[in-house]
Amino acid sequence: SAVISQKPSRDICQRGTSLTIQCQVDSQVTMMFWYRQQPGQSLTLIATANQGSEATYESGFVIDKFPISRPNLTFSTLTVSNMSPEDSSIYLCSVEGGRAGGNTDTQYFGPGTRLTVL
């Protein structure tokens, strides 16, 4: 499986500011995904990022709030804009890791970015 790193690992931010989270993979991947894990809740997909095209956002998430860049096959960024305390979460990136005999790929996750908004 791919080795995935995220920066920063954690941050404390003020309301109204923005934070950009970086995700780096040690091999080229077509699809990268961004998830949010709010305290005590399950992981929720924010958007899917293809290299060379606009990100596809899930219901409830918009580009103005969570702009995503995907400049190449090993890197992506997620920006959390105009933050409020409700944005305090763990943000995770994931990549597909290939199939093991089935008809869909397994996703592998980075270590996450823990964001606290005051």
Partner 1 sequence: EDQVTQSPEALRLQEGESSSLNCSYTVSGLRGLFWYRQDPGKGPEFLFTLYSAGEEKEKERLKATLTKKESFLHITAPKPEDSATYLCAVQGSSSGTYKYIFGTGTRLKVLA
Residues that bind partner 1 (CB under 8 A): 1, 4, 6, 31, 33, 40-45, 48, 58, 92, 96-97, 100-112, 114
Shortest spacing between CB 100 and partner 1, in angstroms: 6
Task: List Cβ neighbours of 56 (8 Å cut-off, separation of 6 or more).
Answer: 47, 48, 50
Nearer to partner 1, 15 or 30 (CB): 30
Least distance in Å: CB of 98 to partner 1? Answer: 10
**Longest pairwise C-alpha distance within the chain:** 47
Our CB check for partner 1 shows the closer of 15 and 77 to be 77
Residue 16, by phi and psi: left (phi above 0), alpha (psi -120 to 50) or beta? left
What lies within 8 Å, CB to CB, of 96 at 6+ separation is 29, 30, 31, 105, 106, 107, 108
We find the least distance from the C-beta atom of residue 86 to partner 1, in angstroms, to be 19
Q: With respect to partner 1, which residue has the nearer C-beta, 53 or 103?
A: 103
Q: How far is the CB of 78 from partner 1 (least distance, A)?
A: 14
**Among 37, 71, 38, residue whose Cα is nearest residue 55:** 71
